[in-house]
Amino acid sequence: MQRSTTLESLPTGRSAQREVIERARQALGTIILGKDEQISLAIACLLARGHLLIEDLPGLGKTMLAQALARVLGLSFRRIQFTSDLLPADIIGVSVFRQESGEFEFQPGPVFSQLILADEVNRATPKAQSALLEAMEEQQVSVDGSTRELPTPFFVVATQNPGDQIGTFPLPESQLDRFLMRVEIGYPNEESERELIAGEDRRSMLREIEAVTGPEMLIALQEVVREVPVKDALISYVQALVRHTRESADIDIGLSPRGAQALVAAARAYAYVENHSGVYPDDVQAVFASVAGHRLKPAGSTRFRSPAELCQHVLDSVAIP
């Protein structure tokens, strides 16, 4: 499945790395129409070594985005459909007794892939959920007493359908924290939708799409992203934002220090995607809703209908120092 990139074709150097990002954005943009922001966020999330939670109604291209990401970035991809009868072994793998050798052999589960789509993660039992979340946290799994490393890069895209209420197990706040970002895709705009309806079948397009890069390049990019400068002025801004979330009457539980770290990490990656020479306040604002949205607990009396609205309000009330 993985379309390996040979070493010779691996672009090197700063401009080449930028080139990869641009080409990936473009390629993704041809499949998922009119969602440039979500594409950039997804790439940034990956570059920041975070995991992505996509939350939206069915049919808005959640799965498509995950598959396209894997294709374009040349990562090995597995999809795990979370159902209420999913067992941890279905995710991690299982040891099978081989008659001929007389030994147990480990059959790796779908989690041993570079990009995993955990589809409808809230349909599975907490037990199965935590098997995945543990793998995400540790980047390794323990089976039958031995620890097995997961591949690198390791990127989980989980989807969650907020409309489903019956028979689901929504992820608790503490586990939502494992996802660097939560994005909503939303309906396409009119023009994009028209093209979607009229145009080629996205699935066949997906099969034809070429990988623009491979895992080695991604690892290199993840390293480069860490070096995007974060200046004092920006830290002051992040602190002001975080402080506001803790003091605001609209928010019960504000951002934790880990939340603030996540915000900076995501902003770094986003700044890189946006080709900024450092992390600008714009980058922080761009990732704020997706990083903070699922980490904040709005007050019961809040007048905001969605986390996104609440986050926008926070951004609008904190002056940039």
Q: Which residues bind other proteins (CB under 8 A)?
A: 229, 231-234, 276-282, 285, 315-320
Radius of gyration for the chain, computed over Cα atoms and rounded to the nearest angstrom: 20
**Choice between 297 and 313, CB closer to other proteins:** 313
Residue showing tokens 């991690």: 92
Minimum distance of other proteins from residue 248's CB (angstroms): 13
**Choice between 116 and 314, CB closer to other proteins:** 314
Copy the structure tokens of residue 225. Answer: 């992203």
**Choice between 65 and 238, CB closer to other proteins:** 238
**Choice between 112 and 272, CB closer to other proteins:** 272
Rounded CA separation 42/157 (Å) = 9
CA atoms 300, 303, 308, 312: torsion sign: negative
Minimum distance of other proteins from residue 302's CB (angstroms): 18
> Which CA distances in Å does 54 have to 45, 159, 193, 261?
12, 5, 20, 21
Minimum distance of other proteins from residue 317's CB (angstroms): 6
Minimum distance of other proteins from residue 87's CB (angstroms): 45
**Choice between 168 and 290, CB closer to other proteins:** 290
**Choice between 33 and 273, CB closer to other proteins:** 273
Rounded CA separation 182/39 (Å) = 13
CB atoms within 10 A of CB 228: 20
Rounded CA separation 51/66 (Å) = 12
Minimum distance of other proteins from residue 288's CB (angstroms): 10
97 CB-contact burial (10 Å; exposed 0-12 / middle 13-18 / buried 19+)? exposed
DSSP state of 122: G
CB 271 within 8 A of CB 279: yes
Minimum distance of other proteins from residue 67's CB (angstroms): 32
